[in-house]
Each structure stands twice: as structure tokens, then as C-alpha cells.
Amino acid sequence: MNAPPLTTVIVLNWNGKDDLLRCLGSLEPLLSERLRVLVVDNGSTDNSADAVRQRFSGVELLALERNLGYAGGNNAGFRHAMQKNPEYVVFLNNDTVVAPDAVARLTAVLRDDSDAGIAVPEIFYMDDPDRIWYAGGVVRLGLGLVRHEGIRELYGPAYARRKETGYATGCCIAMRSLDFERLGGFDERFGMYCEDVDLSLRVRKAGLTVICEPAARVWHRVSASYGSSMHPRKIVRKSAAMLYLMRKHRAWSGFILYPFALLLQAAGALLHRIARKPTGRS
């Protein structure tokens, strides 16, 4: 029986020690000669790197001197991982927990479907484990629209089918190493957001597909970086990234329509928060 292909899971971290240790706890049982985990520490100042060394001897660590951002940190991790020539690479946020079979299911999609360029799991809120955060992505740059499918919905039959989707979220992306390298990795000109959408669009332009695999499950502590999905700093950074994304892909009409799409998304998030707020009635 042939050994399974070599896979490297790259976990990017910046001052997220507690999240990181929880994430690595879910990955540790998967460690083997054929599946390696690489932590890329983006210049943290909270002793994240020391904690990894002390708690997870089987995990490789790349400690960067400064924060290179999402794209730069992951690209640095990929170059380091390629020293061992993995067939597959999985980019994973540090504020996640993965199901035991999630990585294997994602790489199986890439192994069995030569047209698949990216495999992405179904992702759930960590504090509400049956409620969906990501079950596919819709991208309509001409309308200024990028959004998750299924967000805030409870898991059900409608979200149980493997499907082709518009874009993969950078929370967890699985690719063949050769494809990621051929496409030039993540575009480091993005500040913090939309690198995942851009990569997905480039994958699709190369004639490959983005596949959402619901049998692969990940739980995400949403907006751990800023504490709220509607934090003003997050909105500003996402808006700057969206404007660059639309310019890069020549979606000029999106510049006009994006403010309206942003208002609709903000209204939806606010209504959801109001609907879930306790009333105080018994």
C-alpha cells in the first residue's frame, strides 16, 4: 500500500498564544511523517513561540522577526515548508479547531479531482458549534459584493453537499503545492483582507475550481483579531482591500456599488445581533 502524500499544515500566528495552543491541540493527534504542522509566528510579543516549543515538540516553528501580514507570513511559511517538498499545503488560521478527519478530507478532494485547485472546509462558529460561518463564497466584484454563503444559519441538509463555489476563505485553504507555487502564492500587496478572494479568482482564471467540502469541518473563533466583525478598524482595512481587489481585477463598477453592499452587510449583521440579544424575559 502506498504511503499517503506528504501534507504540511501552515498555522499563521500573531500574538494569539491561547488560540494557537488550542488549534495545535486539535492538530497534534494528526502528526506523522506524512503530515507535518508548521507554525509561522509573525513577530509575536506574547511568548507564543516559546509556548509552542514547550508544549508541542512535534510541531515545527518558523519565528519571523517582524509581522509580515497574512500574505507575507503564509508565503514565508510556504517557502520554508517546500524544503521538505510536500504535495499538499493547508493554510490555517490560529483561531480555529479542526475535526480529526478535516485535513484528510480536504486533500482527498485535491487527489481525486484533477480540476480542483482549492479545497475548503465548511466552517462553524466556535461559540455556536452548529451555526455556519462559511459554507461557500459568493464573489461579484462588478457589484462590489463578496460574502459567505450560509453565514449564521444552522447546519442542515442544504449545506451537506460538496459543491463548487466562488471563493475560499483564508481561514482554511488546501492546495497542491505546485499550484500555489505556479500561481505565485498570496499577493502581499493586500493589507490584511481579500488575499483569499484574489487567490481564488486566480485559481479559477487558471481553469481550476474552488470546492467546498462539507464533510471537512473547522470551528473558528470569529474576529479574534479585533473582537468584533463590525469593529471600525476591521471595516476600514476590509474596504481598502476590496478597493484594491476590484482595481486589480478591473471591476470598475464595483467602486460605485461597493458602499451599498457594505451598508447591506452591516445592516444584516446588526439585525442578527439584535435578534440574538437576550430580552430579559423569563
Residue-wise pLDDT for 47-56, tens only, equals: 999 999 999 9
User: Which helix (H) or strand (E) covers residue 108, if one does?
Assistant: helix 102-112
State the helix-helix crossing angle for 232-248 and 195-205, rounded to 10 degrees: 20
Can you tell me the mean pLDDT for 168-189? 98
The residues, any chain, with a CB within 8 Å of residue 245's CB and separated by 6 or more, are: 141, 146, 190, 194, 197, 198, 251
Residue 280 has pLDDT above 60, yes or no: no
- What is the CB-side half-sphere exposure of residue 29 using CA atoms within 13 A? 11
d(CA 141, CA 249): 8
Can you tell me the mean pLDDT for 172-177? 98
Kindly state the percentage of the chain with pLDDT values over 70: 88
Cα distances (Å, whole numbers) of residue 84 to 41, 118, 161, 179: 19, 21, 34, 16
What does the pLDDT look like over 25-44, one tens digit per residue? 999 999 999 999 999 999 99
What does the pLDDT look like over 1-29, one tens digit per residue? 466 679 999 999 999 999 999 999 999 99
Coil, strand, or helix at residue 215? Answer: strand
Cβ pair 110, 228 in contact under 8 A: no
Coil, strand, or helix at residue 39? Answer: strand
Instruction: Tell me what pLDDT residue 6 has.
Output: 94
Instruction: Tell me what pLDDT residue 281 has.
Output: 40
User: Of 86-95, 112-121, 232-241, 246-255, where does mean pLDDT reach its minimum?
Assistant: 232-241
Instruction: Tell me what pLDDT residue 107 has.
Output: 97
- What is the CB-side half-sphere exposure of residue 195 using CA atoms within 13 A? 25
Instruction: Tell me what pLDDT residue 227 has.
Output: 42
> Which of 27, 37, 35, 29 is closest to 3 using CA atoms?
35
Residue 185 has pLDDT above 90, yes or no: yes
DSSP 154: B
Residue 97 has pLDDT above 50, yes or no: yes
Domains of the chain, earliest start first: 7-275 (3.90.550.10)
Can you tell me the mean pLDDT for 172-199? 96
Residue 69 has pLDDT above 50, yes or no: yes
d(CA 147, CA 140): 9
What does the pLDDT look like over 210-266, one tens digit per residue? 999 999 999 999 864 444 555 677 778 888 888 999 999 988 887 887 787 777 766
User: Which helix (H) or strand (E) covers residue 19, if one does?
Assistant: helix 17-27
Instruction: Tell me what pLDDT residue 132 has.
Output: 97
